[in-house]
Amino acid sequence: MLTRDFLRTADCKTAFGDIEESLLWSAEQRASSLAATLACRPDDGPVWLFGYGSLMWNPAMEFDESCPGTLVGWHRAFCLRLTAGRGTACQPGRMLALKEGGRTTGVAYRLSEESLHDDLTLLWKREMITGCYLPSWCKLSLDDGRVVNALVFIMDPRHPLYESDTRAQTIAPLIAAASGPLGTNAQYLFSLEQELIKLGMHDDCLNELVGRVRMLQEGDKPGPEMVPGFAC
């Protein structure tokens, strides 16, 4: 599991696996991206961060408050080819991102002003190793009725690691087989499933994917009734 200490000391060239040199962002590139994102901060209120994947069960940051919330206009999709962390170039998996359309439930974190720069620097080291996301400010509806401007990491469809085919039958074999220095790709998927269950959140596409991966790991093949008529 990623920790603040790990992120502080990690050498991005080696700690997450063998990342292709042309894709690896330097510390200067990450700092520039963070500065540009903060320059677009929509107001002078607290910074909220929306977690829809591993940030839900392992935020690894200081925060003053957390609250479930819903992001409209974007949906979860395993559309990022995973060649490090929980996959390799030879046995790539799939990482979660957001694609346009639909809605996503997750957890919003109100970050601490005292440690804001440190937390965001570590967050960029965690999420922007290859610059695969577009850090964006989005309106987020919290479950308690508040609407806040939140920082959201959305997939950049122009990135070389972007994959458009996110059908469960396509990505389940990849997730079932991939692993890397941070663990298995399937562990990531199952952790997300358990966190959604714990929070009372539902995601039909994720449930189908979880079922397929478990069947593959047990040595079974999904039957024709599992094949969806559309891409999730």
User: In a structure prediction context, what are the per-residue pLDDT tens digits for the chain, which is 232 residues long?
Assistant: 789 999 999 999 999 998 999 999 999 999 999 999 999 999 989 999 999 999 999 999 989 999 999 999 999 999 999 999 999 999 999 999 999 999 999 999 999 999 999 999 999 999 999 999 999 999 999 999 999 999 999 999 999 999 999 999 999 999 999 999 999 999 999 999 999 999 999 898 999 999 999 999 998 554 434 433 333 3
Whole-angstrom distance, CA of residue 85 vs CA of residue 96: 13
**The predicted structure's pLDDT at residue 63:** 95
Confirm whether 17 is domain-assigned.
yes
Q: Are 45 and 149 in contact (CB under 8 A)?
A: yes
Q: Name the token pair of 11.
A: 């050498």
The CATH number of whichever domain residue 194 belongs to comes to 3.10.490.10
Confirm whether 104 is domain-assigned.
yes
Confirm whether 178 is domain-assigned.
yes
The count of other CB atoms within 10 Å of the CB of residue 114 is 10
**The predicted structure's pLDDT at residue 220:** 56
Residue with tokens 């562990």: 187
Residue 224 has what DSSP assignment?
A: G
Q: One of 62, 113, 127, 193 is an active-site residue; which one?
A: 127
End-to-end CA gap in the chain: 27
Confirm whether 87 is domain-assigned.
yes
Dihedral sign computed on CA atoms, order 1, 164, 52, 190: negative
**The predicted structure's pLDDT at residue 231:** 38
Q: Are 115 and 62 in contact (CB under 8 A)?
A: yes
Query: Per the structure, how many domains does the chain have?
Result: 1
Whole-angstrom distance, CA of residue 222 vs CA of residue 117: 47
Confirm whether 222 is domain-assigned.
no
Q: Name the token pair of 21.
A: 């040199």
Identity of the amino acid at 145: G
Q: Residue 195 catalytic?
A: no
Diameter of the chain measured on Cα atoms: 54
**The predicted structure's pLDDT at residue 230:** 31
Confirm whether 38 is domain-assigned.
yes
**The predicted structure's pLDDT at residue 145:** 98
**The predicted structure's pLDDT at residue 167:** 96
Whole-angstrom distance, CA of residue 185 vs CA of residue 117: 30
Q: Name the token pair of 190.
A: 């199952």
**Torsion angle of C-alpha atoms 87, 185, 179, 183, degrees rounded to 10:** 110
**The predicted structure's pLDDT at residue 132:** 97
Domain that holds residue 167: 4-214
Confirm whether 219 is domain-assigned.
no
Q: Kindly report whether the global pTM for this prediction surpasses the value 0.85.
A: yes
Confirm whether 225 is domain-assigned.
no
